[in-house]
């Protein structure tokens, strides 16, 4: 079973526009052409990708899974094209790092200095997102690394997490929270950052 990348692109456009008609207008094709593409995808996969109703369409759980993979494929193709362009200019990349503002300020400048020593010419993009969004961006291939707060969000089995540094902190509370223990964990009190980690996609060994 082989999926047509062009069909996946039409599927992504339907997801983004929220309707078959909207996708048709965006792609400058007829609505029946988009409907036929979605139907063919569903027949190939043997599943329903959208729940259709009078109010519009909604992704099924299999549709959500396919959307993530389709986004990853789209990102892969875009990065492949950009990487070739950079190599022609004797540069490397693109490297996309995501993180929370505090984590990025603490670690990225030092990382850039190290990269400059190895690669004088490179392309780096940094995006700020909450911890939970960063995990999803990793899974879909939108970013290569996520600099996150350790333990704020449970890491997926498909992601690897490595702690880079830890910062001590003092928690000052009022009488209403006097019951808190002398030591707390971030998983129970997520508003108190304990450390910074790098999270990346887990890559299975060949064979």
Tokens matching residue 70: 């389709």
Q: Report the alpha-carbon distance of residue 202 to residue 192 in Å, rounded.
A: 27
| Strand stretches in the chain, DSSP E | 50-53, 56-59, 92-99, 122-128, 145-149, 159-166, 195-201
Check: CB of residue 143 under 8 Å from CB of residue 137. Answer: yes
Q: Report the alpha-carbon distance of residue 70 to residue 10 in Å, rounded.
A: 10
Question: What is the longest distance spanned by two Cα atoms in the chain?
Answer: 65
Please, which pLDDT band fits residue 195 given cuts at 50, 70 and 90? very low
Determine the average pLDDT of the residues in 9-15. 95
Segment 87-107, tens digit of pLDDT: 998 888 888 888 888 778 877
Q: At what angle do helices 61-88 and 131-139 cross, to 10 degrees?
A: 80
DSSP 61-87: HHHHHHHHHHHHHHHHHHHHHHHHHHH
Segment 51-92, tens digit of pLDDT: 988 777 899 999 999 998 898 889 889 889 999 999 998 888
Select from 55, 53, 14 the least CA-distant residue to 37.
Answer: 14
Instruction: State if pTM tops 0.85.
Output: no
Distances (CA, A) of 206 to 53, 156, 199, 203: 44, 21, 21, 9
Mean pLDDT over the full length of the chain: 80
pLDDT higher for 24 or 147?
A: 24
Taking the mean position of all CA atoms in its chain, how far away is CA 63? Answer: 17
pLDDT higher for 21 or 149?
A: 21
Check: CB of residue 61 under 8 Å from CB of residue 34. Answer: no
Taking the mean position of all CA atoms in its chain, how far away is CA 144? Answer: 9
Please report the domains of the chain, with CATH numbers, ordered by start residue.
5-76 (1.10.10.10), 90-201 (3.40.190.10)
**Pick from 21-30, 136-145, 198-207: least confident:** 198-207
């Amino acid at each position: 079973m082989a999926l047509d990348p062009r069909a996946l692109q039409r599927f992504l456009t339907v997801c983004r526009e929220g309707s078959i008609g909207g996708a048709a207008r965006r792609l400058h094709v007829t609505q029946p052409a988009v409907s036929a593409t979605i139907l063919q995808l569903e027949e190939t996969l043997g599943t329903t990708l959208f729940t259709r109703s009078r109010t519009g369409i909604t992704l099924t759980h299999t549709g959500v899974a396919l959307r993530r993979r389709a986004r990853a494929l789209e990102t892969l193709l875009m990065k492949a094209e950009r990487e070739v362009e950079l190599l022609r200019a004797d540069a490397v990349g693109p490297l996309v790092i995501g993180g929370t503002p505090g984590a990025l300020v603490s670690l990225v400048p030092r990382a850039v200095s190290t990269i400059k020593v190895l690669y004088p010419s490179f392309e780096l993009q940094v995006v700020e997102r909450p911890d939970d969004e960063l995990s999803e961006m990793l899974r879909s291939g939108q970013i290569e690394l996520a600099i996150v707060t350790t333990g704020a969000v449970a890491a997926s089995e498909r992601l690897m997490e490595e702690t880079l540094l830890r910062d001590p902190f003092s928690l000052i509370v009022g009488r209403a929270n006097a019951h808190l223990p002398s030591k707390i964990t971030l998983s129970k009190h997520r508003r108190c950052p304990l450390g910074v980690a790098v999270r990346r996609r887990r890559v299975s060994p060949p064979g």
